[in-house]
Amino acid sequence: MEQGAAVQAAAPPAPPTVPAESPGDWIRKNLFSSVGNSIVTVLFVLIGYAALRWLVGLVLDEERNWAAVWTNMRLLFSYTYPADQYIRIWVSLGLTLLMVGLTLGAFASQVRLSLGGLLTRIGAAGLALLVLAIVHMVDLFGLTFHSPERPVVVMLVVGAILAAIGFGGRQAVGAGSDDERTVPLFAVVAGGALAFVLFLWLVPFGRYEAIGGDVIAEPGTVNFTTKFPWTIMMALLVGGYLAGLAARAITGSTAFRLFLGLWWVAGPAFLVFLVLRDPEFDWAHIWSTDLPMALGFAIGGGALLYFLSAPGRGEVARIAGAVLLLYAAFNWLAAFGDLNLPGLGTINWQWYPFASPPAGVEGTSMLQKARISFLLLALVALIAPNFAGELRTRLRFVGAWAGFMLLMHWLITGINTPSTVQVVQPPFLGGFALTLVIAYYVMLASFPVGMMMALARTSKMPIFRVLATGYIEFVRGVPLITVLFFFANIVNLFLPNGMELSDLGAIFLGYTLFSGAYMAENIRGGLQSIRRGQFEASDALGLTTVQRTAFIVMPQALRVSIPNLVGQAIATFKETSLIAIIGGFDFLRVANQSVPSQPGFLGQNLPALLFISVIYWIISYAMSRGSRSLETRLGVGTR
Amino acid sequence: MAVIDTTQSVLASSQQRPPIWRNSGVLKWVAQIVVLLLVLGAFWFLGSTAIDGLAAKNLTPSYEFIDGPANIQPSEGIDTAPSSAGRLLWVGMVTTLQVAIVGVILSTILGVLVGLARLSNNWLANRAASFFIETLRNIPVLVQIFLWFYVMSNTLPDLEAGEGRRFFILSQKGVSIPRIFYDDGFYQWLAFIALGIVPIVLARRYFNARQAAQGGQNLAGPATLAILAVFAIVGWFANSVMSFLGGIFGSNETAVDRVNEGGIAGAWQSIPQSLMQLLLTLAVFGLAIGFIIRFLNSRRTPAGLAKLTDDDYFRMIFAVVAAAFMTLVFWVLWPGLSSWIINSGSDFWGWLGDKFGDDRGTRPLDGMLPTVSDGRFANYGPTGATLTVFRAALLVGLVLYTASFIAEIVRGGILAVAKGQTEAAAALGLSRSQALRKVILPQAFRVIMPPLGNQYLNITKNTSLAIAVGLSDVVQVGQSVFNKNGQSLAVFTIWMAFFLACSLTISVIVNFINGRLEIVER
Amino acid sequence: MSQDASMSIADAGMSAELAARDDVIVCDGVKKWFGDFQALRGVDVTVKDREVMVVLGPSGSGKSTLIRCINRLEAHQEGRIIVDGIELTNDLRNIDKIRSEVGMVFQQFNLFPHLTVLDNITLAPIWVRKKARSEAEKRAMELLERVGIPEQAEKYPGQLSGGQQQRVAIARSLAMEPKIMLFDEPTSALDPEMISEVLDVMKDLAREGMTMVCVTHEMGFAREVADRIVFMESGDIVEVGTPEHFFTNPTEDRTKLFLSQIL
Ligand SMILES: Nc1ncnc2c1ncn2[C@@H]1O[C@H](COP(=O)(O)OP(=O)(O)O)[C@@H](O)[C@H]1O
Ligand SMILES: [Mg+2]
Rounded distance, CA B308 to CA A303, Å? Answer: 45
Identify the chains in contact with C, defined as 3+ C-beta pairs within 8 A: A, B
Rounded distance, CA C103 to CA C95, Å? Answer: 13
Q: State which of A37-51, B8-22, B146-160, C106-120 shows the largest mean pLDDT.
A: C106-120
Lowest mean pLDDT among A3-17, A49-63, B214-228, C229-243: A3-17
How confident is the model over B74-86, as a mean pLDDT?
A: 84
Whether pLDDT at A15 is above 70: no
Q: What is the pLDDT of residue B254?
A: 57
- On whether the CB atoms of residues C136 and C123 are closer than 8 A, the answer is no
Domains of chain A: residue spans and CATH = 61-81+424-639 (1.10.3720.10), 84-274 (no CATH), 281-417 (no CATH)
Burial annotation A343-378 (CB, 10 A radius, 16+ → b, else e): eeeeeebeeeebbbeeeeeeebbbbebbbbbbbbbb
Q: What is the pLDDT of residue A426?
A: 67
Nearest chain B Cα distance for residue C169, angstroms: 28
Q: What is the pLDDT of residue A567?
A: 92
Q: What is the pLDDT of residue A609?
A: 95
In ligand 1, the atom with minimum distance to the C-alpha of C184 is: 21
The answer to whether the CB atoms of A541 and C111 lie below 8 A apart is no
Could you tell me if the CB of C63 is within 6 A of ligand 1? yes
- Distances from the Cα of C18 to the Cαs of A254, C4, C23, C45, C46, in angstroms? 52, 19, 10, 14, 11
Lowest mean pLDDT among A359-368, B230-239, B452-461, C14-23: A359-368
Q: What is the pLDDT of residue A598?
A: 87
A24: left (phi over 0), alpha (psi -120 to 50) or beta: alpha
Nearest CA in chain C to B24: C90
Judged on CB neighbours under 10 Å (0-12, 13-18, 19+), C36 is middle
In ligand 1, the atom with minimum distance to the C-alpha of C74 is: 1
Could you tell me if the CB of C40 is within 6 A of ligand 1? no
- Distances from the Cα of B288 to the Cαs of B230, B274, B326, B330, in angstroms? 50, 21, 11, 16
Q: H-type helices in A417-430, by residue range?
A: none
Count CB-CB contacts under 10 A for residue B381. Answer: 8
* A389 Cα–ligand 1 center, Å: 37
The 3-state DSSP class for residue A281 equals coil
* C62 Cα–ligand 2 center, Å: 7
User: What CATH class does B64-178+369-517 carry?
Assistant: mainly alpha
Q: Does C102 touch chain A (CB under 8 A)?
A: yes
Could you tell me if the CB of C216 is within 6 A of ligand 1? no
Contacts (Cβ under 8 Å, ≥6 apart) of A219: A204, A206, A207
Whether pLDDT at B318 is above 50: yes
Long-range pairs, B45-50, Cβ under 8 A, ≥24 = B45/A333, B45/A336, B45/A339, B46/A494, B46/A495, B47/A494, B48/A339, B48/A340, B49/A336, B49/A493, B49/A494, B49/A495, B49/A496, B50/A490, B50/A493, B50/A494, B50/B489
Percent of chain B predicted with pLDDT > 70: 89
DSSP assigned state of C40: E
Q: What is the pLDDT of residue B253?
A: 67
The answer to whether the CB atoms of A533 and C102 lie below 8 A apart is no
Judged on CB neighbours under 10 Å (0-12, 13-18, 19+), A606 is buried
The 3-state DSSP class for residue A636 equals helix
Could you tell me if the CB of C120 is within 6 A of ligand 1? no
Amino acid type, C127: W
The 3-state DSSP class for residue A225 equals helix
Nearest chain C Cα distance for residue B34, angstroms: 19
Whether pLDDT at B59 is above 70: yes
How confident is the model over A547-572, as a mean pLDDT?
A: 93
Nearest residue by C-alpha to atom 8 in ligand 1:
C65
The answer to whether the CB atoms of B4 and C7 lie below 8 A apart is yes
Rounded distance, CA B456 to CA B506, Å? Answer: 7
Nearest chain C Cα distance for residue B36, angstroms: 23
Identify the chains in contact with A, defined as 3+ C-beta pairs within 8 A: B, C
- Distances from the Cα of A115 to the Cαs of A159, A164, A171, A177, B259, in angstroms? 20, 15, 12, 10, 84
Could you tell me if the CB of C36 is within 6 A of ligand 1? no
Which residue of C110, C177, C182 to mutate against A (max A Cβ within 10 Å)?
C110
Chain B, window 69-88: residues with a beta carbon less than 8 angstroms from a chain A beta carbon: none
- The three-point CA angle C198-C202-C208 to 5° equals 150
Of A389, A392, A638, nearest to C127 by CB-CB distance is A389
Q: What is the pLDDT of residue A296?
A: 93
Helix axes A150-163, A115-137, angle to 10 degrees: 150
- On whether the CB atoms of residues B250 and B350 are closer than 8 A, the answer is yes
Percent of chain A predicted with pLDDT > 90: 39
Rounded distance, CA B63 to CA A49, Å? Answer: 56
The 3-state DSSP class for residue A581 equals coil
Chain B, window 177-206: residues with a beta carbon less than 8 angstroms from a chain A beta carbon: none
Could you tell me if the CB of C75 is within 6 A of ligand 1? no
> In which band, very low, low, confident or very high, does the pLDDT at C6 lie, cut at 50, 70 and 90?
very low
> In which band, very low, low, confident or very high, does the pLDDT at A3 lie, cut at 50, 70 and 90?
very low
Q: C14 to chain B: which residues are within 8 Å by CB?
A: 3
- On whether the CB atoms of residues A312 and A344 are closer than 8 A, the answer is no
Burial annotation A141-157 (CB, 10 A radius, 16+ → b, else e): eeeeeeeeeeebeebbe
Pair type for strands B385-388 and C37-48: unpaired
Q: B310 to chain C: which residues are within 8 Å by CB?
A: none
Q: What is the pLDDT of residue B133?
A: 94
Whether pLDDT at C12 is above 70: no
- Distances from the Cα of B397 to the Cαs of B92, B400, B403, in angstroms? 19, 6, 10
How confident is the model over B376-390, as a mean pLDDT?
A: 74
Amino acid type, B20: I
CA A157 to chain centre: 36
Helix axes B441-462, B389-427, angle to 10 degrees: 160
Count CB-CB contacts under 10 A for residue B330. Answer: 21
Express each pLDDT in A367-381 by its tens digit: 788 888 999 999 999
In ligand 1, the atom with minimum distance to the C-alpha of C57 is: 22
The answer to whether the CB atoms of C73 and A540 lie below 8 A apart is yes
Q: What is the 3-state secondary structure (H, E, C) of A324-366?
A: HHHHHHHHHHHHCCCEEECCCEEECCCCCCCCCCCCCCCCCHH
Rounded distance, CA A438 to CA A435, Å? Answer: 5
Q: What is the pLDDT of residue B281?
A: 94
Pair type for strands B371-373 and B376-377: antiparallel
Whether pLDDT at B78 is above 90: no
Rounded distance, CA C120 to CA C169, Å? Answer: 8
Express each pLDDT in B111-131 by its tens digit: 999 999 998 888 889 999 999
Amino acid type, A118: L
The residue among B429 and B147 whose pLDDT is bigger is B147
* C127 Cα–ligand 2 center, Å: 29
The total number of residues shown for chain C amounts to 263
Chain A, window 89-118: residues with a beta carbon less than 8 angstroms from a chain B beta carbon: none
Rounded distance, CA B54 to CA B48, Å? Answer: 10
The 3-state DSSP class for residue A430 equals coil
Identify how many contiguous H helices and E strands chain C contains and give both numbers: 11, 10
Q: What is the pLDDT of residue A16?
A: 52
Express each pLDDT in B254-295 by its tens digit: 555 555 567 788 888 888 889 999 999 999 999 999 999 998
Rounded distance, CA A15 to CA A278, Å? Answer: 51
Residue-by-residue DSSP string for C136-171: HHHHHHHHHHHHT-GGGTTS-GGGS-HHHHHHHHHH
* C54 Cα–ligand 2 center, Å: 13
Could you tell me if the CB of C112 is within 6 A of ligand 1? no
Q: What is the pLDDT of residue C2?
A: 40
Rounded distance, CA B265 to CA B275, Å? Answer: 17
Judged on CB neighbours under 10 Å (0-12, 13-18, 19+), B402 is buried
Of B3, B17, B23, nearest to C11 by CB-CB distance is B3
The answer to whether the CB atoms of B142 and A9 lie below 8 A apart is no
Q: Sign (positive/negative) of CA torsion A469, A474, A475, A478?
A: positive
Q: Does C86 touch chain A (CB under 8 A)?
A: no
Lowest mean pLDDT among A421-425, A581-585, B460-464, B485-489: A421-425
Each domain of chain B, given as residue ranges in start order, spans 64-178+369-517, 187-355
Could you tell me if the CB of C39 is within 6 A of ligand 1? yes
How confident is the model over A241-256, as a mean pLDDT?
A: 78
Express each pLDDT in A431-453 by its tens digit: 999 999 999 999 999 999 999 99
Express each pLDDT in B467-503 by its tens digit: 999 999 999 999 999 888 888 888 999 999 999 999 9
Whether pLDDT at B4 is above 50: no
Helix, strand, coil percentages (3-state) for chain B, rounded to 5, are 70, 5, 20
Express each pLDDT in C92-101 by its tens digit: 888 888 888 9
Whether pLDDT at C7 is above 80: no
Nearest chain B Cα distance for residue A85, angstroms: 31
The answer to whether the CB atoms of A541 and C123 lie below 8 A apart is yes
Q: What is the CA radius of gyration of chain C?
A: 18
Which residue of C64, C65, C128, C159 to mutate against A (max A Cβ within 10 Å)?
C128
* C39 Cα–ligand 1 center, Å: 6
Pair type for strands C102-105 and C180-184: parallel
> In which band, very low, low, confident or very high, does the pLDDT at B182 lie, cut at 50, 70 and 90?
confident
How confident is the model over B219-223, as a mean pLDDT?
A: 87
Long-range pairs, C197-206, Cβ under 8 A, ≥24 = C197/C148, C197/C163, C197/C167, C198/C163, C198/C166, C198/C167, C198/C170, C201/C146, C201/C147, C201/C148, C201/C167, C201/C170, C202/C170, C204/C146, C205/C170, C205/C174, C205/C181, C206/C52
Nearest CA in chain C to B15: C87
Q: What is the pLDDT of residue A254?
A: 73
Rounded distance, CA A171 to CA C66, Å? Answer: 70
Nearest residue by C-alpha to atom 17 in ligand 1:
C62
> In which band, very low, low, confident or very high, does the pLDDT at A101 lie, cut at 50, 70 and 90?
very high
Q: What is the pLDDT of residue C136?
A: 94
The 3-state DSSP class for residue C110 equals coil
Q: A309 to chain C: which residues are within 8 Å by CB?
A: none
Nearest residue by C-alpha to atom 26 in ligand 1:
C60
The 3-state DSSP class for residue A214 equals strand
Of A570, A588, A624, nearest to B142 by CB-CB distance is A588
- On whether the CB atoms of residues C111 and C100 are closer than 8 A, the answer is no
Express each pLDDT in A451-510 by its tens digit: 999 999 999 888 999 999 999 999 999 999 999 999 988 888 887 766 778 888 899 999
State the ipTM, two decimals. Answer: 0.92
Burial annotation A173-191 (CB, 10 A radius, 16+ → b, else e): eeeeebeebbeebbeebbe
Q: What is the pLDDT of residue C126?
A: 92
> In which band, very low, low, confident or very high, does the pLDDT at A8 lie, cut at 50, 70 and 90?
very low
Chain A residues contacting C via beta carbons under 8 Å: 311, 314-315, 386-390, 392-393, 531, 533-534, 536-537, 539-543, 547, 551-552, 555-556, 559, 638-639
Whether pLDDT at A281 is above 90: no
- Residue of C133, C135, C136, C171 whose CA lies nearest to C152: C171
The answer to whether the CB atoms of C128 and A543 lie below 8 A apart is yes
How confident is the model over C6-17, as a mean pLDDT?
A: 62
